[in-house]
Amino acid sequence: MIAWKSLQLLLLCALLAAWSNAQAQEAKPNGSQLQPVYSPANPKGGWKVKTQETRGAYSVLESVVQPSTGPEPHRHSREEEGFYILEGQYEFRVGTQVIKAGPGDFLFAPRNVPHTYKNVGTTPSRHLTIISPGGLELFFAERAALQRETPSSHPEYLARYKALQEKYGLEYSTEWQFSPRPQ
């Protein structure tokens, strides 16, 4: 079963690479080549490939998620996300679906569809997030800078965080309440 899941991931990566190459040739008429990227293992996770390394086609993030944690429910207006589970047990909510997922499983969250996940296991879990098109790493960098500069209790924090979400086409909602958006 794991061999089949590994083959699925390999096929997904091949499709992303082919799509990236097509996008790159469109973006760069001179046909300059993408450079190989090596991302060593990191027990804390991190970016495996960033948008500038794929000419904006996609980025890949490895996440390590502690038990009983996960992101706030959110949706993207610009990106699709794919999640490939490496270790641990998750519960995903994508739109109205609740999906249990474990090692070798893959989930897809289309743009404009609210989604979240939670590590429902008792040990840290790991997954890859494939984000297309790339660029969302810029949001995470700006959010980290905001969190370093401005305490979340500061009156200015919420307005700045909301502006940052709007800049990147994101919407977060702890109550799973989202404003209407075209599909």
User: pLDDT of 30-70, one tens digit each?
Assistant: 557 889 999 999 999 999 999 999 999 999 999 999 999 99
Domain 2-30+43-172, second-level architecture: Sandwich (2.60)
**Confidence band (pLDDT; 50, 70, 90) for 181?**
low
Please give the Cα distance from 168 to 78 (Å, whole number): 8
Pull the structure tokens for residue 140: 């995470």
Residue 55: which of 169, 133, 167 has the closest Cα? 133
- Predicted pLDDT at 10: 41
Residue 45: which of 63, 29, 69 has the closest Cα? 63
Q: Is the peptide bond before 133 cis (omega within 30 degrees of 0)?
A: yes
Domain ranges of the chain: 2-30+43-172
- 121 to each of 72, 93, 153, how far by Cα in Å? 18, 16, 31
Greatest extent of the chain over all pairs of C-alpha atoms, in Å: 52
Pull the structure tokens for residue 180: 């209407």
User: pLDDT of 8-36, one tens digit each?
Assistant: 544 454 445 444 444 444 445 455 788 99
User: pLDDT of 62-103, one tens digit each?
Assistant: 999 999 999 999 999 999 999 999 999 999 999 999 999 999
